[in-house]
Structure 1
Amino acid sequence: MILSLLFALADPAALPGFYVGNQMELAAAIELEPDGRFAYALDYGAVSETAEGSWKVTGETVVLTIDKSQGAGPGPSLASTPLAIAGTTLRLERHGRAILFQREGELAVPPNRNSKLDRK
């Protein structure tokens, strides 16, 4: 089953969807449309950036072509930093951090969940 998920995500037809990358002090999202368009947003400390354009799969990466962007922080352009396809996760190295995007609806329950809140 896991192997079939890996093959499914590597298939460009399986990639479209809405992905979130919420981590401590960071909020990010990218939407990959089936027609090859994308929208991206990142808030990290003093950096807020957005971009949109087109995407394509090259090997084990998603390569972005930027049509419009706003607020890009210092460092390399988003277009020069492809997203690595890592199992069911998209990984982006941005602003010195690894941002792990997971498709919305596939987010894991936090391991430190307080079960006492489940009392009825």
Structure 2
Amino acid sequence: MIRFTFDCDYQKPEHTFTARRKGEDWNGFLRPYVDEENLRAVAARFNTITVENDGDYRIELADGADGAVVIHEYEVGEEKAEPIATTVLEQDSDELYYLNLGWTLVSDNHYG
């Protein structure tokens, strides 16, 4: 198991998530494989960080076909707008989702 956070939450245990395995790093950031429970928790934290930091967009998750999860991205403040982007995360053979979304995720021992 790998414990990880958003970079801005580093060393904040209350915002730590668990991955089952690690994918290839992206620009020094972690791209983990997570179960659905952790995927939904990470998405909720993403939206909270957006609110706390005047971010530009928020996400909503929807159920897709065959265990997939669909991520819809919306501009902040556009509650009824069409998504500006949609990403489908398919489950792998272990029923995990690969978070290769360009988010700044780090392992809980990334900086030390």
Which range, TM-score by smaller chain?
0.3 to 0.5
Structure of larger gyration radius = 1
User: Normalising by structure 1, what TM-score?
Assistant: 0.31
More helix by share: 2
More strand by share: 1
Q: Which of 1 and 2 has higher RCO (CA within 8 Å, sep 6+)? A: 2
